[in-house]
Structure 1
Amino acid sequence: MMIVTTEFVPNHEIKELKGFVKGSTIQAKHFGKDILAALKNVIGGEIKEYEEMMTHARQVAIGRMAEDARAKGANAVIGVRLQTSSVMSGAAEIIAYGTAVVVESN
């Protein structure tokens, strides 16, 4: 599955439009990691605990979007975007979305 942020896939022709696809996940903070992050917030520095959590969440959301595209018969997703929003205190939703297409190499 090709996944691109552009509106086309270089050296490929879009043969068929399959439509909108998305994938999402909601991640909550881990209490132990939250304590470490709070300490880093006071003393400064990168908060790797949250970075790891968000990286994993992005991978899950993109994977679910790709599954949605495969189910529609696509072999690529173009115009991919990622968005995050807070759904409650300590939890965030990550959503990946784009347009599922069938492409062939030129």
Structure 2
Amino acid sequence: MNDLSDEQKRDFEAAAFRRLLEHLRERTDVQNIDLMNLAGFCRNCLSNWYREAAEAKGVPLSKDQSREIVYGMPYAEWQAQHQTEASDAQKAAFATNRPKDH
């Protein structure tokens, strides 16, 4: 795979990221706490990484703006439509498995 140009790598990575966002937008049944417990990151992590990347390039982006990019709608709207209360088991798993930066 060393034959890929930097531009190709960037384009393919961007396409994979867009597909990941599309997948997460379709799978509203998967809660952020499920993602955190399973993979150690969630939609909010993605939005934070997006914002950090923008800011590293001198582009100011608010937390709300980056979350809207990831969720495909304002975060409060997504919460109202799709977020459910975490179960005691989910909360316990999160307390055990939670990454140090959360």
Provide the TM-score with structure 1 as the length reference. Answer: 0.28
**Structure with the largest fraction of strand:** 1
Q: Which has the higher contact order (CA 8 A, sep 6+)?
A: 1
Provide the TM-score with structure 2 as the length reference. Answer: 0.29
